[in-house]
Amino acid sequence: MRRITTATLVAGLLLAGGAAPALAGESAPVRRCSAGQLQVRLGTIDAGAGNRNAPLVFTNSSRTACTLYGHPGLIMIDKQGDTLRTRVRRATGPKHRVTVKPGGSARTTLHWTVVETGDETACPSPARLLVIPPDERSYLNVPFDAGQVCDGGRLDVTPLA
Protein backbone atom coordinates (compact mmCIF):
# COMPACT_ATOMS: atom_id res chain seq x y z
CA MET A 1 0.00 0.00 0.00
CA ARG A 2 1.36 3.38 -1.02
CA ARG A 3 1.23 6.20 1.52
CA ILE A 4 0.23 9.67 0.24
CA THR A 5 1.98 12.50 2.04
CA THR A 6 0.64 16.01 2.51
CA ALA A 7 3.33 17.35 0.17
CA THR A 8 2.25 14.90 -2.55
CA LEU A 9 -1.40 15.89 -2.11
CA VAL A 10 -0.60 19.62 -2.28
CA ALA A 11 1.63 19.17 -5.33
CA GLY A 12 -1.09 17.16 -7.08
CA LEU A 13 -3.72 19.80 -6.40
CA LEU A 14 -1.46 22.58 -7.65
CA LEU A 15 -0.65 20.68 -10.84
CA ALA A 16 -4.37 20.05 -11.37
CA GLY A 17 -5.10 23.76 -10.96
CA GLY A 18 -6.89 23.42 -7.63
CA ALA A 19 -6.25 25.41 -4.51
CA ALA A 20 -4.05 23.84 -1.87
CA PRO A 21 -5.87 23.21 1.39
CA ALA A 22 -4.62 24.93 4.51
CA LEU A 23 -2.49 22.60 6.58
CA ALA A 24 -3.10 22.19 10.30
CA GLY A 25 -1.92 25.35 12.05
CA GLU A 26 -1.91 27.38 8.82
CA SER A 27 -4.53 29.92 7.92
CA ALA A 28 -5.97 30.36 4.45
CA PRO A 29 -4.64 33.37 2.54
CA VAL A 30 -6.67 36.55 2.93
CA ARG A 31 -8.00 37.74 -0.43
CA ARG A 32 -8.44 41.32 -1.59
CA CYS A 33 -11.69 43.07 -0.78
CA SER A 34 -14.30 43.19 -3.51
CA ALA A 35 -16.91 45.92 -3.83
CA GLY A 36 -19.56 43.40 -2.76
CA GLN A 37 -17.84 42.93 0.61
CA LEU A 38 -17.61 46.63 1.41
CA GLN A 39 -19.71 49.56 2.52
CA VAL A 40 -18.27 53.04 2.04
CA ARG A 41 -19.22 56.30 3.71
CA LEU A 42 -17.87 59.82 3.71
CA GLY A 43 -17.00 61.08 7.18
CA THR A 44 -17.43 64.62 8.47
CA ILE A 45 -16.08 67.28 6.12
CA ASP A 46 -13.51 69.55 7.75
CA ALA A 47 -13.42 73.04 6.20
CA GLY A 48 -10.78 75.73 6.42
CA ALA A 49 -9.28 78.47 4.23
CA GLY A 50 -10.92 77.28 1.01
CA ASN A 51 -9.84 73.67 1.54
CA ARG A 52 -11.92 70.65 2.45
CA ASN A 53 -10.82 67.34 3.96
CA ALA A 54 -12.91 64.28 4.74
CA PRO A 55 -12.25 60.64 5.59
CA LEU A 56 -13.60 58.02 3.23
CA VAL A 57 -14.28 54.93 5.35
CA PHE A 58 -14.40 51.38 3.93
CA THR A 59 -16.15 48.85 6.21
CA ASN A 60 -16.02 45.11 5.63
CA SER A 61 -19.64 43.93 5.70
CA SER A 62 -18.81 40.32 4.85
CA ARG A 63 -18.11 37.34 7.12
CA THR A 64 -14.48 36.95 6.05
CA ALA A 65 -11.41 39.14 6.35
CA CYS A 66 -10.11 40.79 3.19
CA THR A 67 -7.29 43.16 2.23
CA LEU A 68 -7.08 46.62 0.68
CA TYR A 69 -3.91 48.07 -0.83
CA GLY A 70 -3.31 51.42 -2.50
CA HIS A 71 -5.76 54.12 -3.54
CA PRO A 72 -9.44 53.97 -4.49
CA GLY A 73 -10.75 55.28 -7.80
CA LEU A 74 -13.23 58.17 -7.68
CA ILE A 75 -15.81 59.66 -10.08
CA MET A 76 -18.02 62.64 -9.19
CA ILE A 77 -21.69 62.66 -10.29
CA ASP A 78 -24.05 65.67 -10.31
CA LYS A 79 -27.72 65.83 -9.19
CA GLN A 80 -28.90 64.89 -12.69
CA GLY A 81 -26.73 61.75 -12.69
CA ASP A 82 -24.19 63.12 -15.14
CA THR A 83 -20.48 62.51 -14.73
CA LEU A 84 -18.42 65.51 -13.68
CA ARG A 85 -14.78 66.04 -14.57
CA THR A 86 -12.84 64.25 -11.85
CA ARG A 87 -9.05 64.44 -11.58
CA VAL A 88 -7.82 62.07 -8.89
CA ARG A 89 -4.36 62.86 -7.58
CA ARG A 90 -2.87 60.02 -5.57
CA ALA A 91 -0.93 61.43 -2.64
CA THR A 92 2.49 59.91 -2.22
CA GLY A 93 3.36 58.07 0.91
CA PRO A 94 3.86 54.56 2.12
CA LYS A 95 1.29 52.01 1.03
CA HIS A 96 0.37 49.21 3.37
CA ARG A 97 -1.68 46.11 2.78
CA VAL A 98 -4.55 46.59 5.21
CA THR A 99 -6.35 43.49 6.46
CA VAL A 100 -9.95 44.39 7.24
CA LYS A 101 -11.70 41.94 9.54
CA PRO A 102 -15.48 41.47 9.37
CA GLY A 103 -17.02 44.67 10.73
CA GLY A 104 -13.64 46.41 10.66
CA SER A 105 -12.71 49.51 8.66
CA ALA A 106 -9.92 51.08 6.64
CA ARG A 107 -9.81 54.69 5.55
CA THR A 108 -8.34 57.17 3.17
CA THR A 109 -8.50 60.97 3.30
CA LEU A 110 -9.92 63.13 0.51
CA HIS A 111 -8.83 66.74 -0.01
CA TRP A 112 -10.22 69.34 -2.43
CA THR A 113 -10.43 73.08 -2.84
CA VAL A 114 -13.55 75.23 -3.16
CA VAL A 115 -11.61 78.23 -4.47
CA GLU A 116 -11.58 78.83 -8.22
CA THR A 117 -8.09 78.49 -9.67
CA GLY A 118 -6.52 79.70 -12.88
CA ASP A 119 -9.19 80.74 -15.39
CA GLU A 120 -12.06 78.93 -13.62
CA THR A 121 -15.19 81.03 -13.27
CA ALA A 122 -17.39 78.31 -11.77
CA CYS A 123 -16.79 74.94 -10.14
CA PRO A 124 -19.08 71.92 -10.34
CA SER A 125 -21.08 70.79 -7.31
CA PRO A 126 -21.22 66.98 -7.06
CA ALA A 127 -24.08 65.13 -5.39
CA ARG A 128 -22.61 61.61 -5.40
CA LEU A 129 -19.26 59.92 -5.56
CA LEU A 130 -18.61 56.60 -7.27
CA VAL A 131 -15.90 54.85 -5.25
CA ILE A 132 -13.93 52.04 -6.86
CA PRO A 133 -11.99 49.90 -4.36
CA PRO A 134 -8.36 49.20 -5.36
CA ASP A 135 -7.99 46.51 -8.05
CA GLU A 136 -11.75 46.42 -8.64
CA ARG A 137 -13.99 47.30 -11.57
CA SER A 138 -17.20 47.58 -9.57
CA TYR A 139 -18.05 50.71 -7.64
CA LEU A 140 -20.00 51.84 -4.61
CA ASN A 141 -22.26 54.90 -4.78
CA VAL A 142 -21.82 57.39 -1.90
CA PRO A 143 -23.57 60.72 -1.17
CA PHE A 144 -21.05 63.54 -1.72
CA ASP A 145 -22.52 66.89 -0.70
CA ALA A 146 -19.13 68.58 -0.91
CA GLY A 147 -20.21 71.98 -2.14
CA GLN A 148 -18.11 72.84 -5.14
CA VAL A 149 -14.92 71.06 -6.19
CA CYS A 150 -12.53 73.41 -7.98
CA ASP A 151 -9.15 73.12 -9.70
CA GLY A 152 -10.65 71.19 -12.59
CA GLY A 153 -12.45 68.69 -10.33
CA ARG A 154 -9.28 67.66 -8.51
CA LEU A 155 -9.60 65.27 -5.57
CA ASP A 156 -6.43 64.37 -3.66
CA VAL A 157 -6.55 60.93 -2.03
CA THR A 158 -4.15 59.28 0.42
CA PRO A 159 -3.28 55.55 0.41
CA LEU A 160 -5.66 53.36 2.41
CA ALA A 161 -4.64 52.74 6.00
Whole-prediction pTM: 0.81
pLDDT at 53 over 70: yes
CB atoms under 10 Å from CB of 60, counted, come to 22
pLDDT for the residue numbered 25 = 53
pLDDT at 21 over 50: no
pLDDT for the residue numbered 2 = 41
Using CA atoms, how far apart are residues 60 and 1, in angstroms rounded to an integer? 48
pLDDT of 114-142, one tens digit each?
999 999 999 999 999 999 999 999 999 99
